């Protein structure tokens, strides 16, 4: 009998992860959803199972904990769950001046944004190889392309993820596992992000998209094995422009935008 294949999505309870989960469900993909706190994930799983006649498992864990990752592996083996797609979406965002943000916040951000996706790829590589052709989608950010004051650590974690993905895409080719990254610009994923995005300058505001729209563009491109996915015409235009104009000018624009962004909310996150 042909095994049932699942798509693992981290950070699926809200925001972009939830939009990705709904988009995958519409494509009849069985899902394994992960979040931290458990708020609403069970309801989402029931809704998706009933609406789209797919199988959905869910698991609450702290992705920054190695012990939890081992528990996840145990659970997956015990339930005989087979993954064909791995989507590393969960991420900790931040805005704040480096010397004002607690070091423990940054260390947690590095654990969730860097260590967790690296660990999950390592943990499920054998499965993905066995179930190939298969794919890994890592959720990076447009921020990975720029030097962003007040988003220094966040941007650096996303640059790591982009670099890792492109290298692995070459390395895993023989195993028929492709690795994609998606680099969204601003998305209205939760009330805090909506508020922050509303308070950005008009130039940056133009690029803000709804997570549902980004999810559809992303999944279409990912399932077509596109390596680097930049959703939205404006975001593609910004990237091209950034390559053309002198660095000193692009850094000046970036600094003005970041200061406006930060002025909208002085707290991190």
Residues that bind ligand NAP (CB under 6 A): 10-17, 35-37, 39, 61-64, 89-93, 112, 139, 141, 184, 186-187, 189-190, 193
Say how far residue 62 (Cα) sits from the centre of its chain: 16
Nearer to ligand NAP, 9 or 128 (CB): 9
Tell me which residue has tokens 């998209």: 209
Strand 56-60 versus strand 82-88 pairing type? unpaired
Nearer to ligand NAP, 127 or 144 (CB): 144
Q: C-beta of 89: minimal distance to ligand NAP in Å?
A: 5
Nearer to ligand NAP, 92 or 177 (CB): 92
Q: C-beta of 71: minimal distance to ligand NAP in Å?
A: 13
**Rounded-to-integer distance, Cα 179 and Cα 165, Å:** 6
**Rounded-to-integer distance, Cα 31 and Cα 49, Å:** 9
**Rounded-to-integer distance, Cα 144 and Cα 230, Å:** 12
Nearer to ligand NAP, 12 or 268 (CB): 12
**Rounded-to-integer distance, Cα 109 and Cα 102, Å:** 11
Q: C-beta of 23: minimal distance to ligand NAP in Å?
A: 13
Q: Closest by alpha carbon to 26, among 187, 178, 215?
A: 215
**Rounded-to-integer distance, Cα 258 and Cα 262, Å:** 6
Separation in Å, CA 21 to CA 31, 48, 75, 135? 7, 9, 20, 16
**Rounded-to-integer distance, Cα 228 and Cα 221, Å:** 9
Nearer to ligand NAP, 15 or 232 (CB): 15
Q: Is the dihedral of CA 204, 209, 214, 217 positive or negative?
A: negative
Q: C-beta of 209: minimal distance to ligand NAP in Å?
A: 9
Q: C-beta of 22: minimal distance to ligand NAP in Å?
A: 13
Q: C-beta of 122: minimal distance to ligand NAP in Å?
A: 17
Nearer to ligand NAP, 68 or 132 (CB): 68
Q: C-beta of 90: minimal distance to ligand NAP in Å?
A: 4
Nearer to ligand NAP, 83 or 145 (CB): 145
């Amino acid at each position: 009998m042909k095994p049932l294949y699942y798509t693992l999505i981290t950070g699926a309870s809200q925001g972009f992860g939830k939009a990705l989960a709904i988009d995958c469900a519409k494509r009849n993909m069985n899902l394994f959803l992960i979040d931290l706190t458990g708020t609403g994930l069970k309801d989402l799983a029931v809704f998706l199972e009933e609406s789209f006649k797919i199988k959905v498992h869910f698991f609450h864990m702290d992705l920054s904990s190695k012990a939890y990752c081992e528990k996840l592996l145990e659970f997956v083996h015990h339930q005989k769950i087979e993954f064909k797609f791995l989507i590393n979406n969960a991420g900790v965002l931040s805005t704040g001046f480096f010397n004002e943000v607690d070091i423990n916040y940054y260390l947690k951000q590095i654990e969730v944004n860097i260590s967790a996706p690296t660990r999950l790829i390592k943990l499920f590589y054998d499965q993905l190889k066995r179930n190939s052709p298969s794919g890994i989608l890592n959720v990076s950010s447009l921020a990975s392309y720029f030097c962003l004051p007040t988003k220094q650590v966040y941007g650096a974690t996303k640059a790591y993820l982009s670099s890792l993905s492109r290298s692995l895409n070459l390395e895993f080719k023989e195993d028929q596992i492709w690795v994609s990254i998606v680099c969204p610009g601003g998305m209205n994923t939760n009330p805090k992000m909506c508020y922050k995005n509303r308070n950005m300058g008009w130039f940056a505001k133009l690029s803000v998209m709804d997570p549902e729209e980004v999810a559809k563009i992303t999944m279409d491109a990912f399932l077509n094995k596109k390596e680097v996915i930049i959703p939205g015409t404006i975001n593609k235009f910004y990237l091209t422009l950034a390559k053309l104009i002198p660095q000193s000018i692009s850094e000046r624009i970036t600094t003005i935008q970041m200061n406006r962004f930060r002025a909208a909310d002085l707290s991190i996150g």
